[in-house]
Amino acid sequence: MRLALVGMLATSGVLLAIPSFAQEEEPKLNQPTRPGIARSAEIQRAGVLQIELGLEGRLHSPEIHSAEETPLSLRYALLQSVALDVNFEPVVSQVDQQPRNRHTAFGDTVIGGQWVAREQSASAPAVALAYYVKLPTASNSEDIGTGRIDHRLAFLGSKKIGDADVDVTVAYLNVGDRDAGRSSGALAAVSVEQEFKNKIGYLAEWSHQTEDAELPRGGYALGAITYRLSEAARLDAAARFGLTKAAPNISVTAGLSVSAPLHVRP
């Protein structure tokens, strides 16, 4: 465990040390947090509400034969350095390995926030801290979720290198299980994202987590295609592949991220 944490911190240290000659940019109207695990340390403009809708399907993990989820995320930039998050799943449906019973219910809810400690500059990355708590709101917690509260404390680093954005997330996890016990673990994710002039973009990501968090524990590789509808909206479609035995073999997801100012700033 200690070696894993050291490796994750070293990865984030590499990002901090990378030089760049990019110019400072105005905060974006739309700063998607999907479809990957690595989050940007930067947030959307202050006063802007960002809504993200998705549909995800997973196949073949040790406990679950298949699962379908409908993640919905609300993010509001209270200040240019503070964003508040509410994430939930209106519908979660999964089929057990044995017997092949299907369970459908409202999912758990995650609330939290992100603080941008330092904005990106020509010579330094953006740095942020985030905290999230999962509330066991699943309407069928005996079959979906653990029925316990989970915590996540994350360090985020982001840097534009050439025309690509590199994001690093390193997190401490504290999760509860069905037997009323608690476990500590870690999450690490690195992504590279680029958007071309024709509004099409790509995202490539590696992630690993030692406890169940946004995904079942295990290692993953993700590849995504994005399309920028406007300054305020983006579509995405992605495939995620499990790299370890405990991870689902394959997941596919598609979604929309859209932003809207809630008030006119002076």
What residues does each domain of the chain span? Answer: 2-260
Rounded mean pLDDT, 16-28: 56
> Is the predicted pLDDT of residue 31 greater than 90, yes or no?
yes
**CATH class for the region spanning 2-260:** mainly beta
Q: Are 66 and 94 in contact (CB under 8 A)?
A: yes
Q: Encode pLDDT of 126-183 as tens digits.
A: 999 999 999 999 877 667 777 889 999 999 999 999 999 999 999 999 998 877 689 9
Calculate mean pLDDT across residues 43-50.
96
148 and 135 Cβ atoms separated by less than 8 Å: no
Q: How far apart are CA 220 and CA 136, in angstroms?
A: 25
Residue at 55: amino acid letter: L
Q: How far is CA 127 from the centre of its chain?
A: 16
Locate 229 and state its tokens. Answer: 């509808």
Cβ 155 vs Cβ 126: under 8 Å? no
pTM of the model: 0.85
What gap in Å lies between CA 36 and CA 56, rounded to an integer? 12
CA distance 256 to 229: 10
Q: Give buried/exposed letters for 237-263 (b at 16+ CB in 10 A, else e).
A: ebebebeeeebbeebebbbbbbbeeee
